[in-house]
């Protein structure tokens, strides 16, 4: 029987979207490292360089490099680095999203054309661009090669203040299904995790996060908010061959909140 500790043993994975030690990408990198994977980390720009290099050192990362996912040349350079380092890729984690702060409060109706374009380009097209660039490497991947992205309930239901990011997550989940259909014939899986709210740099940009988390603590079937480690461990399952039959799927890591209809009457 496979030991849990070695679930990703011998696999090489690129994790895109680490900003700091609170990032979900960081928790996924830690969990993947502990499960035996060799990882590489990518971050947006110089602003995050120090934090991410420190994390990379702790996790013995094969490389740590900057890549602005809105820039095709930088995506191509990242792809070349993967090819040079490993000559193949067993998993890609996409943990990237952005919307202007002013789009994440008040009415969705007020969303600007610019804000809409930026949110969807950064949070959705980046998955397509990165996956396309890395497909030749993933085709050579071992185990049950896969791409994993991070969505949120706001893509399925209207969540106060999530606004344009909810529309981006709906598009992201559709992109997961289309990419899964394109890449399935090559044995490459594409899935999303949909975690409940966790306090991170990005989450802090969404107005009312504290109230939302306070509500979920009482309303979720598990009666708690999830944490980044819950996401990291679920990612190990999604990236490992234990989930080899799972693709085009959105796996909720939210204490069951998304499956409830009416919150407990005692709240």
Footprint of ligand NAD (CB under 6 A): 17-19, 23-25, 44, 48, 68-70, 95-98, 122, 150, 152, 195, 197-198, 200-203
In angstroms, what is the minimal distance from the CB of 140 to ligand NAD? Answer: 25
Closer residue to ligand NAD in complex, CB, 25/35 = 25
In angstroms, what is the minimal distance from the CB of 26 to ligand NAD? Answer: 7
Closer residue to ligand NAD in complex, CB, 98/186 = 98
Helices (H) and strands (E) in the chain, counts: 8, 7
What are the distances in angstroms from CA 6 to CA 39, 55, 101, 143, 254? Answer: 14, 21, 40, 13, 25
Is 125 annotated as catalytic?
A: no
In angstroms, what is the minimal distance from the CB of 208 to ligand NAD? Answer: 12
Distance between CA atoms of 109 and 131, rounded to whole angstroms?
32
Among 125, 162, 178, 186, the active-site one is 162
Is 152 annotated as catalytic?
A: yes
Among 43, 125, 152, 257, the active-site one is 152
Closer residue to ligand NAD in complex, CB, 63/186 = 63
In angstroms, what is the minimal distance from the CB of 10 to ligand NAD? Answer: 26
Q: Give me the helix-helix angle, 126-139 and 163-183, nearest 10°.
A: 20
Distance between CA atoms of 94 and 131, rounded to whole angstroms?
9
Query: Which residues contact residue 185 at a Cβ distance below 8 angstroms, ignoring those fewer than 6 apart?
Result: none
Q: Would you state the torsion angle of the CA atoms of residues 191, 197, 203, 209, taken in this order, to the nearest 10 degrees? A: 150
Closer residue to ligand NAD in complex, CB, 143/225 = 225
User: Catalytic residue numbers?
Assistant: 152, 162
């Amino acid at each position: 029987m496979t030991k849990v500790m070695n679930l990703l043993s011998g696999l090489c994975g690129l994790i895109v979207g680490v900003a700091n030690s609170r990032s979900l990408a960081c928790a996924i990198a830690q969990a993947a490292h502990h499960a035996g994977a060799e990882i590489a980390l990518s971050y947006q720009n110089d602003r995050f360089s120090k934090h991410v290099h420190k994390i990379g050192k702790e996790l013995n990362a094969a490389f740590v490099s900057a890549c602005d996912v809105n820039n095709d040349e930088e995506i191509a350079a990242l792809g070349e680095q993967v090819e040079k380092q490993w000559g193949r890729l067993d998993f890609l984690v996409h943990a990237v999203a952005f919307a202007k702060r002013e789009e994440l409060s008040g009415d969705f109706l007020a969303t600007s054309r610019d804000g809409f374009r930026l949110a969807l380009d950064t949070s959705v097209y980046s998955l397509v661009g990165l996956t396309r660039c890395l497909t030749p490497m993933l085709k050579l991947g071992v185990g049950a090669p896969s791409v994993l992205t991070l969505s949120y309930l706001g893509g399925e239901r209207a969540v106060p203040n999530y606004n344009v990011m909810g529309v981006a997550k709906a598009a992201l989940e559709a992109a997961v299904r289309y990419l899964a259909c394109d890449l399935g014939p090559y044995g490459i899986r594409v899935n999303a995790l949909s975690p409940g709210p966790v306090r991170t740099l990005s989450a802090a940009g969404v107005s009312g996060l504290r109230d939302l988390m306070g509500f979920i603590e009482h309303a979720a079937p598990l009666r708690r908010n999830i944490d980044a480690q819950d996401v990291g461990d679920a990612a190990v399952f999604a990236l490992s061959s234990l989930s080899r039959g799972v693709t085009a799927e959105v796996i909720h890591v939210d204490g069951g909140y998304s499956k409830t209809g009416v919150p407990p009457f005692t709240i």
